[in-house]
Amino acid sequence: MLAAIAAYFIVVDFPGSKSNKFLTEEERAFVQARLIQDRGTEDEHAKINAAVILRTLMDWKIWSFSMMYFAGARYVYKGLGRCTDL
């Protein structure tokens, strides 16, 4: 609990925030440029159509991570007695 309270005052929410005093202007600009690069443009986020959904459903990583999740969750639910038919 003490760590959470300390983190509230220590951890900076965004590189451009006024409480951020440990980054230089050059470092702040670099971090903000990386955030923009990682996020992409606003237009990329707004375009969801059938082709995007199909491409996502055809991605092998989505299915493999889903199977890993359900394989682990199966034993949690079975161990708790909620689902006995798995």
Q: Which residues contact 84 (CB under 8 A, 6 or more apart)?
A: 78
Residue 66: is its pLDDT beyond 90?
yes
- Percentage with pLDDT > 70 across the chain: 80
For 2, 57, 70, the CA distances from 29, given in Å and listed in that order, are 32, 36, 41
Q: How far apart are CA 17 and CA 31, in angstroms?
A: 12
Q: How far apart are CA 59 and CA 1, in angstroms?
A: 40
Determine the pLDDT at residue 59. 94
The overall average pLDDT reported for the chain is 81
Residue 41: is its pLDDT beyond 70?
no
Hey, where are the domains in the chain? 1-47, 48-86
